[in-house]
């Protein structure tokens, strides 16, 4: 009964999956390109894409930028615990975290920590400032453990289908 699930549920066939796979690798393929690859004319492909958008399978189209070129070449994972686990304190933490633009991902996790943050900054100095000025200003953080990314093997936003 969640608010996000109010899309129509539809059946996808093999062609739909092929279209989704191609679009999550290159969203600027034209309908014509897609049509050629699935051996159809443009009309059914156009209608399938619209169907997939309206049904919520395709949530958005985004440009992938180069973090390093934009001076955000240091990726840090920060695992955080809260001092208390009431809903109110959790909600406040979430609200505070969402205001920090350096935090590009935040998940509530199982295990020793409560939250996992992925942070993008320019360098160590900027990360130090982030921890001291921004993370340090958030209430009810019990502990924070930083892990630094040394090398990127694979970084995809694609869903494995």
Partner DNA sequence: ACTGAAAGACGTCGAAT
Partner DNA sequence: ATTCGACGTCTTTCAGT
Contacting residues toward its own copies, per CB under 8 A: 7, 20, 23-28, 55-67, 69-70, 72, 75, 77, 94, 97-98, 101-111, 113, 115-116, 120, 147-161
SS3 28: coil
Count CA atoms closer than 13 A to 116's CA, side-chain side.
10
Report the distance separating Cα 101 and Cα 41, nearest Å.
43
CA 91 vs CA 39, 130, 137, 139: distances in Å: 50, 21, 16, 12
**Given the rule CB under 7 A, which of 43-51, 101-109, 126-134, 139-147 is the region that contacts DNA?**
43-51
Q: Choosing among its own copies, DNA, none, which partner's interface includes residue 78 (Cβ < 5 to 8 Å by kind)?
A: none
The answer to whether 30 contacts DNA (rule: CB under 7 A) is yes
Q: 56 is in the binding site of which of its own copies, DNA, none (Cβ under 5 to 8 A by kind)?
A: its own copies
Interacting stretch for DNA, rule CB under 7 A, among 19-27, 38-46, 66-74, 77-85? 38-46
With respect to DNA, which residue has the nearer C-beta, 53 or 123? 53
**Quick one: what does residue 48 bind among DNA, its own copies, none, with the CB cut-off 5 to 8 Å set by partner type?**
DNA
User: Under 8 Å CB-to-CB from 156, ≥6 apart: which residues?
Assistant: none
Cα separation, 153 vs 150, in Å, equals 10
Residue 158 binds what, of its own copies, DNA, none (CB under 5 to 8 Å, by partner type)?
its own copies
Site for DNA contains 44 (CB under 7 A): yes
For helices 42-54 and 31-38, what crossing angle results, to 10°? 110
């Amino acid at each position: 009964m969640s608010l996000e699930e109010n899309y129509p549920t539809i059946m996808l066939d093999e062609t739909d999956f092929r279209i989704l796979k191609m679009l999550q690798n290159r969203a600027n393929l034209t309908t014509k390109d897609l049509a050629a690859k699935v051996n159809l004319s443009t009309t059914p492909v156009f209608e399938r894409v619209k169907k997939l958008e309206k049904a919520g399978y395709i949530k958005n189209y985004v440009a992938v930028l180069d973090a390093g070129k934009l001076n955000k070449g240091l990726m840090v994972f920060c695992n955080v615990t809260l001092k208390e686990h009431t809903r109110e304190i959790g909600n406040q933490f979430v609200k505070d975290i969402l205001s920090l633009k350096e935090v590009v991902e935040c998940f509530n996790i199982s295990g020793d920590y409560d939250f996992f943050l992925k942070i993008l900054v320019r360098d160590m100095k900027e990360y130090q400032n982030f921890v001291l000025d921004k993370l340090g200003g958030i209430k009810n953080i019990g502990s924070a453990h930083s892990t630094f990314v040394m090398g990127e093997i694979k970084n995809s936003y694609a869903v494995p289908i």
